[in-house]
Amino acid sequence: MRLFLAALLTALSLSTVFAANCEGLATLSLPNTQITAAKSVPAGSFTPPGARAAVENLPAFCQIHGILKPTGASLIHFEVWMPLDKWNGRLEVAGNGGLAGTISYGPMGTALRQGYAAASTDTGHTAQEPHTWLENRERLIDYAHRALHLTAVAAKEIVNTYYLSPARYSYYIGCSTGGKQGLIEAQRYPADFDGIVAGDAANFWTRQMASEVWNGVVTSSPETNLSEENLKLIQDAVMETCDALDGAKDGIISDPTRCRFDPKKLLCKRAGQANCLTSAQAAAVEKIYGGVVNPKTGEKLYPGLYPGGELGWGRAGGMMVINRKDTSGVSSNDFFAYALFHDPKWQFRTFDFDRDLKRAEDTFASITNGTDPDLAEFRRLGHKLIYYHGAADPLIPAQNGIDYYETVLKKDRNADQYYRVFLVPGLYHCSGGPGVTAFGGSQPSPVIDAGHDMISAAVQWVEQKKAPERIIGTKFVDNKPGNPIALQRPLCAYPLVARYKGSGDMNDASNFACAK
């Protein structure tokens, strides 16, 4: 009888019989929540509210738009999409990037196509509004962690109301700020998700902001600017030194932690010499590799970038974090200008890496940082965390992701029972780069199973208790899904790395083994 009831519940969760019709959810009452839209959307393309482009090839689904107001200052928009047919019984929530301000419709579409109910939030502000929202502590809390948590809570209630049963399992996926959100969820709200896939996390937020300023400052003068030609020169020299450490000379460094490269070997020997670095440029490169240092005490505050991804430093003409003129890169200028200094005209070169960073941490670390190594409750609940980081990330140092894992492992030597880390050789920040890019992170894998796709690996770990040892990553020609496959490579659970067996096609994952 018990087996019959279990099978019946599973069948009902996959059926098209619902406790409420989609439009009827407009009257659903949830704490501090207003449902502003509830409608059935036919299969095909769908342009979400405020989106610039349609999300293509979607199954028919129920679209819910809501607003969460946990405080008087809060205005958190969120969406929940639920398939009208063939629901897999699971909920997947997608994280954000940068300073957020938009709902992650693309990842929601990916999840929906795979049978998940999907949800995401704008974290409490829009990308178009003035950045003065950063000056409001409650809205900063919403952005840092509260909005995602409350979205997960609301999404579960909406799914529970719409279908005849609640989601059997809940999962999370996000990269960059989304990676930070995932780690904070495991730390602050360990009950929210059974499985988390987090990538390239900005979890040490205050120091990541300082790192963006640091890399901007050290390359901000004409003498220290690094041209694309300079970057290619450096990367070519790095490859000559370190590429073959894994046995495969293929333009990808599998284990950058073992790469020892001194940029001074490229110093110009005479004035006017080409294909070399000036002493000022070499010093700037050393500072990028070395990371943020307190100028007063000499203490190393945050890791630098690994060697091997130098061409990525100048992505979009150097508009990431190097060669800055008027502002520091990505999120740091807005965060410091508005949240810390309350001055939109703040000049990034004036940042004091001793005094100002301490002030930032005293003021914001308890809100924005996700560095607590105590995951005991997450472990007790049986939840699982898969973390990945692009080894060639030109924005957030991959060593930061390793450092956090090491702090957890120091506190709990059995942390690998619920927390696995995968370093992705040649991957830039969440996407792009010379290495594999498609493994179910920011780019869907061509094969959706636990051996190729990180969310599927998390599902298998949570639901079948089989921990991931390696995941096959894929690189498409020109990094565009749908193009032919250029190469595949195993991603290995840290501290193992992929090493070439010594024979066979280097583009074939089967010719690599995970080893120390």
Domain borders along the chain are 1-167, 169-204+370-516, 207-368
Pick the CATH number of 169-204+370-516 from 3.30.70, 1.10.3470, 3.40.50, 2.30.30: 3.40.50
Cβ atoms of 459 and 450 within 8 Å: the answer is: yes
Name the token pair of 338: 């508005």
Strand partners of residue 385: 196, 419
What's the rounded Cα separation, in Å, for the pair 409 and 372? 12
* pLDDT value for 132: 98
Residue 100's nearest CA partner among 124, 118, 68, 78 is 124
Cβ atoms of 455 and 439 within 8 Å: the answer is: no
* pLDDT value for 7: 41
Name the token pair of 212: 């963006």
* pLDDT value for 6: 40
* pLDDT value for 453: 98
Task: Show the low-confidence residues of the chain (pLDDT under 50).
Answer: 1-17
What's the rounded Cα separation, in Å, for the pair 189 and 207? 23
Rg of the Cα atoms in the chain: 23
At 473 the three-state DSSP class reads: strand
* pLDDT value for 317: 52
Q: pLDDT tens digits for 93-138?
A: 999 999 999 999 999 999 999 999 999 999 999 999 999 999 999 9
Which positions are catalytic? 176, 393, 429
* pLDDT value for 50: 82
Task: Tell me the torsion sign for CA atoms 56, 101, 419, 512.
Answer: positive
